[in-house]
Amino acid sequence: MSSPGRLVAVSNRVGPVRGAAAAGGLAVGLVDALRERGGLWFGWSGRTAPAGRVKLHQEDAEGVRLATLDLTQQDFDGYYCGFCNNCLWPLMHFRIDLMRFERRQLEAYRRVNARFAQSLARLLRAGDLVWVHDYHLIPLAEELRRRRVRQRIGFFLHTPFPPTEILSTLPEHESLIRAFFAYDLVGFQTQEDLVRFQEHVRRACGGTVRGDVVTAFGRELQTGAFPIGIDVDQFHRYAFTAPGNREFARMQSVLRGRDQFIGVDRLDYSKGLLRRMDAFGRYLEDHPKAHGKVILLQVAPVSRGDLTAYRSFRQELDREAARVNGRFASFDWTPVHYLNRALPRRTLAGLYRASRVGIVTPMRDGMNLVAMEYVAAQDPADPGVLVLSRFAGAAQYLREALIVNPYDGEQTAATMHLAREMRIQERRRRHEALMRRLRARDVARWRRDFLAALGEAPAARRGSRKAR
């Protein structure tokens, strides 16, 4: 193959490029590749502007071009708050009880994707490889193709993909699924997600599946599972160098020999926070000897705080944390330490390291990077134990974690106990194995595998789209 073209990454939120590793999120996975190939990163500017004053902003940062577009308030409401986060997010996490569908919002979703495509199409060059991220932008390739973009376009879904019975509850789901077929490659977090997508196409769209090639709507689509990972060594360094190191030492002196359980999650109903809090209460109930000796530190920065579902969830969680504290606290011991602030990434690394048990119990999660960060931040000589929900994509890979069903409060509570009591030899054995798994599937491999598969997506299939 000739020298690779530019990488063009597209995601709802863009950047930062400087200090990307410390910022976390998608930037960790993308920035190196964008720098290497001299890339472009396109997305929403994070700002709203009146209709006539919506602008495309462009700047260069460390060899990467950032191009971001404003949204009108109406589009922000309909697209981001509406269809993306009030409809698609709950749907993708199997929460159709929380799903709110409005045609007006679907229209805003389509409109924003069309606007993105219109601006992006003008910035593309021949040979560019376009990589679109997540549920906000499913129709983007269709809109780009409409504007005669012929470059290879890949899509990666960061959330789970729901079963066909759940997906079919979304009015107009056919058009959403059809939109996937304008890509050259569609990637999922796990084999299970991939199979659910293929099953849906077979059962609901009359399509066929041969290996990883899915055919429907008169087109062939390459699909695959590309589990995302983290930069293992870098995160480990965060925990063992300043300021992570300092936070670790500070936490240890605060704990004074108490054991800490840690949870770190965006404040989102998919993360299982309510049931986790309840299971922790149950653990304390069942183990009076643990009173005064164990703390649950829950870091839960507010996310999508403007949405009603999130506001009421936050209130419920506040009550649940207060209930556990009210029931068990003594004048010199508060069992639940609950923060709604985001902490610097290096501080988090130090806190993970200081915690005997990592509690990662989402009800449903695409992958879950916190589980991996917790493992990477441990001291190999005296590592903590990871308790992990079977419904996180990460459970498919991190087999040596203590796997729980978060719907089973008794089991979760019993596993908290097991984790805390685990002997050093077993902790070391599990940790070593988990580190091997983390290294085998780190973020660099995720990126390499996806981009290689996209680069190899058969040209003939793209050519056959001319008929559209």
Which amino acids are annotated catalytic? Answer: 158, 365
Radius of gyration of the chain (CA): 23
Q: Which residues bind ligand GDG (CB under 6 A)?
A: 24, 158-159, 228, 264, 266, 299, 301, 342-345, 348, 365-370, 373
Tokens for 335? 């069992």
Q: Which is nearer to ligand GDG, 5 or 393 (CB)?
A: 393
Measured from the CB of residue 59, what is the shortest distance to ligand GDG in angstroms? Answer: 23
208 backbone dihedrals φ, ψ, rounded to 5°: -125, 155
Q: How far is the CB of 197 from ligand GDG (least distance, A)?
A: 16
Closest contact distance (angstroms) between CB of 373 and ligand GDG is: 5
**Of the candidates 366, 303, 397, 10, the residue with the CA atom closest to the CA atom of residue 157:** 366
CB atoms within 10 A of CB 22: 14
Closest approach, Cβ 54 to ligand GDG, in A, equals 27
Which residue lies nearer to ligand GDG by CB, 124 or 167? Answer: 167
Least distance (Å) between residue 287 CB and ligand GDG:
28
Instruction: Go through 292-320 and write b for each residue having 16 or more CB atoms within 10 A of its CB, e for each that does not.
Output: eebbbbbbbeebbeebebbeebbeebeeb
* Cβ 272 to ligand GDG shortest distance, Å: 12
Q: Which is nearer to ligand GDG, 324 or 370 (CB)?
A: 370
| Residue among 128 and 373 whose Cβ is closer to ligand GDG | 373
- Given phi > 0 = left and psi -120 to 50 = alpha, else beta, which region is 216? beta
CB of 158 to ligand GDG, least distance (A): 4
Q: Pick between residue 292 and residue 344 the one whose CB is nearest to ligand GDG.
A: 344
Residue nearest to ligand GDG (CB): 366
Cβ proximity to ligand GDG, 7 vs 205, nearer residue: 7
Closer to ligand GDG at the Cβ: 180 or 352? 352
| Tokens standing for residue 117 | 């495509």
Provide the CA 91 distance to its chain's centre, in angstroms.
15
CA angle 459/132/52 to nearest 5° reads 120
